[in-house]
Amino acid sequence: MAVNVSKVFVKTSDGLEKSLGEYAGNVLLIVNVASRCGFTKQYLGLQTLQDKYGSRGLKVLGFPCNDFGAQEPGSIQEIKSFCASTYNATFPIFEKVHAMGSTTEPYTTLNSFPPHGDVEWNFEKFLIGKDGSVLARFKSAVEPQSDELKIAIEKALDA
């Protein structure tokens, strides 16, 4: 069965519930982020993707997560400030989540996408199609500027 996030509700950084269905018609790149991780520099690449493909309908969504090595210990305001001041990140940063074990959305749904199971580390990426279906899952080591990810994004945008 296909995994779809259209009926998933998440919390914004202001604590408000938001349906991922509100993004219907856009391609989403959902990423669990952390400010003190070896992959933190990927924020720059994520912002570059947002800048390059945003006008075509890509929305990068960041979900801070402290599950891995306690690498995201700050408050949501500290996280947003860090992202903006260090990486000029303008894409939405949502409320902190759990991506493994006792998960919170969107990961309760996303972790059922093959290969099934919990996110393994910070900066794992899920590509969501315009209809809300999960198209692909990319491990942390797949850089935002990799051909593998950019080709998948372009294909999703062209669909």
Residue tagged active-site, from 8, 34, 37, 60: 37
pLDDT 10s digit of each residue in the chain, 159 long?
A: 578 999 999 999 999 999 999 999 999 999 999 999 999 999 999 999 999 999 999 999 999 999 999 999 999 999 999 999 999 999 999 999 999 876 899 999 999 888 788 999 999 999 999 999 999 999 999 999 999 999 999 999 999
Residue 1 is predicted with a pLDDT of 55
Q: What beta strand segments (E) does the chain contain?
A: 9-11, 17-19, 27-33, 58-64, 125-128, 134-138
Annotated catalytic residue 37: yes
In degrees to the nearest 10, what's the CA dihedral of 132, 54, 150, 97? Answer: -50
Give whole-number Cα distances, 37 to 69, 113, 138, in Å.
Answer: 8, 24, 17
Q: Which CATH number fits domain 25-158: 3.20.10.10, 3.40.640.10, 3.90.1150.10, 3.40.30.10?
A: 3.40.30.10
* Residue spans per domain, the chain: 25-158
Q: What is the value of pTM for the model shown?
A: 0.95
